[in-house]
Structure 1
Amino acid sequence: MKQLLTLLFFLFQLTTLLGQKLLIPMDITQENHLKAYGLTFWALEADIEIEWLLNYQGGSFLMDYSDKIARECRIRGVNYLTLDAGSILNIYTEIEANNMEVILLEKAPKIAVYTPPNKQPWDDAVTLALEYAEIPYDKLWDLEVLKGDLSKYDWLHLHHEDFTGQYGKFYASYHSASWYIRQQLQYEEMAADLGYLSVSEEKKSVARTIKDYIRNGGFLFAMCSATDSYDIALAAEGVDIVDVPFDMTPVSPNFNAKLDYSKTLVFKDFTLVTNPSVYEFSDIDAVPG
């Protein structure tokens, strides 16, 4: 009987300590996932500790309830639940019994987006998502990367970048388009100002600088052409892999054999596609069959 009373007293103390919590679900019950991420970021900026419930309702976020947070959720159109101590204990019990995890978030990361000063004809999905979610970020480009500004940031998001210096391999379709010509001139001027003989060599240097940033603890998110062209640029250090339309010089003889896969982050044993008329960098991409 004494043990039971002790247990009941402990549970009472625990539920009192827990108090009310606010849960932001991230499963199908959440009507606006991007805004929910933004709300969570906003809370971290306000020094509110958050528990990220991995694999629970889509990776939900749990924090102490306050009228201020609840009001901000309503303003941003974010679905949330107010939980009492019993409900919170049930969540922790479910997490403990299943393939779930609780990660404590204490600090809002400082985010940089690597994006060109000029916008291309298509949308940049990274900046669009961050703007909509209301997550603050800074923009930087090659000059800022090469002078060491990456050390100021926790996360780097890559634009749809071509780190091989082939302007996205759009030569066949767009080489006579005004935006393509402007972009090539802008990139060539930038590379020259930074002391490089070609855009290709300048972009390789940027790729190596980003690799150092990762080695020093930075986080990287890349998408689209930035994923494979990045590793290609790392592997091609000291090898000319871009043809005449891009740097006025032919590719190095036997260039594929000269690639150094030990310098890449992810991919290896790939074969490059250097034909300017072919919209592909290499055989890294898998075509569904």
Structure 2
Amino acid sequence: MKKLVQIAFFLLLAVQVQASYILLPMDHETQKDHLKAYGITYWVLSSNVEAWWLLNYRGGSFAFPYNRTFEKECLTRGVSYEVVADGQFNNILNEIADPEVNMEAIKLEKAPKIAVYTPDFNARGEKIQPWDDAVTLVLTYAEIPYETIYDREVLNDELTEYDWLHLHHEDFTGQYGRFYRTYHNQTWYRENQRKMEELAYDLGFTKVSQLKLAVVKRIKEYVVGGGFMFAMCSATDTYDIALAAEGVDICAEMYDGDPVDPNAQSKLDYSKTFAFEDFQLERNPLEYEYSDIDHSRGRRINPEQDYFTLFDFSAKWDPVPTMLTQNHTRTVKGFMGQTTAFRNQNIKSNILVLGENKPAKEARYLHSEYGQGFFSFYGGHDPEDYRHYVQDPETDLSLHPKSPGYRLILNNILFPAAKKKKRKT
């Protein structure tokens, strides 16, 4: 009996030694923590080890060479995994390569260096703006490292040091989020305005709107040169509005000290924007809205029925949108923000819609190439907080480890790690 136990032990050890891959399944039933699985994959890439992204295979699974250290890290972070023998993994690759199945295996080569564009803290170490950010929340939860930058660093050309840039919920039009009517007497609002004006003057601008225009133009150069930009909520539409309004005063007196240009609307240049066109500016400076790009106004959708659908792309012919829409479900719960969704009629014809609420005639998730780079726009504030208000507590992602809405953010973060394939023609 003892001899049989010894033989079984050595057989098991032999299987472990021969096993050559760790598979992180990403289907709903198997994976306990989808979000941390991205963090594991990023960590493996940071260790100078290549990985595979198995598009549409069990929810968009990840795989990388077996290593006891990697296995221990999966256990430590609570990520479900399977140890796969070399022959078995080759069988998976052969299954994926079948031209009759909508799957593809993408090699991930290098962990992208990540920058988050976000305001500084004040002298007391407090956040200047009293709201959180979904991207920094999920990066922290998934244990993916990032660095923060803001206007000074952008104008000093420090963007070139990064592969991926996230735009925090910024107002690039210089109107302080259009919070004036509700919050202009709040300490945080006044302090934010004072600090932004000081920063603008220090960098050589007479108005915050001029500073923000310089920033969006420098970010545009970053994307044209090959960078990847990801924006959520108000950082999407205000980015394009700022570009279209170059040289035009669209800020009312309470925001920049002088009146808005009465002919501002007719002077907008939509050819300069990334994604949107033919939009109408909101003329009331006290209205909590910038333009009609956002589909929040008049949006009569029952919160219980507010979902958007991810498009199903061809993994072999369209690997980029397939990567960006990897999920364990094609239907994602909607969520609101200052910019919740994008009206279809304001989206340029060359922009790829990745997710939409068809009955509402709105897009929630957009992507496109721009120059040598890429950008993605994602509507809403927090994928797991349907109505997130100013000064609400931040979401505890340990309660939402399978969040499909947060997975879409992480898809964008890993996308720059993919080995570039020649376009099929």
Return the TM-score normalized by structure 1.
0.91
Q: Which has the higher contact order (CA 8 A, sep 6+)?
A: 2
> Any idea what the Cα deviations from partners look like across 1:137-180, whole Å, max 9, x if unmatched?
11101000001000000000110011001111111110110100
In 2, Cα distance between equivalents of 1:108 and 1:277: 43
Match of 2:114 in 1: 111
Match of 1:128 among 129, 137, 147: 137
Alignment of 1:204-243 (within 5 A): 204-243=213-252
- 2:78 is matched by which residue type in structure 1? G
Decide which structure has the larger Cα Rg and report it: 1
Match of 2:86 in 1: 85
Q: Does 1:20 align with 2:29?
A: no
Match of 2:207 among 185, 188, 198: 198
Q: Does 1:99 align with 2:102?
A: yes
Match of 1:171 in 2: 180
Q: Is the 8 A contact 1:188 1:199 kept in 2?
A: yes
Shift of the alpha carbon at 1:31?
A: 1.5
- 1:278 is matched by which residue type in structure 2? E
**Structure 2, unaligned runs of 5 or more:** 1-17, 122-126, 301-425
Q: Is the 8 A contact 1:38 1:135 kept in 2?
A: yes
**Structure 1, unaligned runs of 5 or more:** 1-17
Please identify runs of 4+ aligned residues in structure 1 that moved more than 3 A: none
Shift of the alpha carbon at 1:20?
A: 2.4
- 2:71 is matched by which residue type in structure 1? A
In 1, Cα distance between equivalents of 2:207 and 2:283: 16
Q: Is the 8 A contact 2:25 2:60 kept in 1?
A: yes
Query: What is the SS of the residue equivalent to 1:83?
Result: strand
Match of 2:164 in 1: 155
In 2, Cα distance between equivalents of 1:100 and 1:107: 22
In 2, Cα distance between equivalents of 1:178 and 1:275: 24
Shift of the alpha carbon at 1:84?
A: 2.0
Match of 1:14 in 2: none
Q: Is the 8 A contact 2:19 2:83 kept in 1?
A: no
Q: Does 1:253 align with 2:234?
A: no
> Any idea what the Cα deviations from partners look like across 1:110-149, whole Å, max 9, x if unmatched?
1000000132222122212111111111110100000100
Query: What is the SS of the residue equivalent to 1:23?
Result: strand
Alignment size in residue pairs: 272
- 1:87 is matched by which residue type in structure 2? Q
> Any idea what the Cα deviations from partners look like across 1:193-236, whole Å, max 9, x if unmatched?
11111001110110000000000000011001001000000111
In 1, Cα distance between equivalents of 2:252 and 2:118: 25
Would the alpha carbon gap of residues 165 and 260 (structure 1) be closer, same or farther in structure 2, given more than 3 Å must change?
Answer: same
Q: Is the 8 A contact 1:243 1:274 kept in 2?
A: no
Q: Is the 8 A contact 1:242 1:274 kept in 2?
A: no
Match of 1:13 in 2: none
Which shifted more, 203-212 or 25-34?
Answer: 25-34
Match of 1:262 among 271, 277, 294: 271
Shift of the alpha carbon at 1:85?
A: 3.4
In 1, Cα distance between equivalents of 2:27 and 2:205: 48
Shift of the alpha carbon at 1:274?
A: 3.6
> Any idea what the Cα deviations from partners look like across 1:233-267, whole Å, max 9, x if unmatched?
01110000110110011111211110001100110
> Any idea what the Cα deviations from partners look like across 1:72-130, whole Å, max 9, x if unmatched?
10011111111123432332233123111111111111100000013222212221211
Identity within the alignment, %: 58
The structure whose residues are more often helix, as a share, is: 1
In 2, Cα distance between equivalents of 1:180 and 1:68: 48
In 2, Cα distance between equivalents of 1:27 and 1:205: 43
- 2:167 is matched by which residue type in structure 1? L
Alignment of 1:10-89 (within 5 A): 20-28=20-28, 29-89=30-90
- 1:205 is matched by which residue type in structure 2? A
Return the TM-score normalized by structure 2.
0.62
In 2, Cα distance between equivalents of 1:272 and 1:250: 15
Match of 1:9 in 2: none
Which shifted more, 25-34 or 58-67?
Answer: 25-34
Shift of the alpha carbon at 1:275?
A: 1.8
In 2, Cα distance between equivalents of 1:229 and 1:27: 36
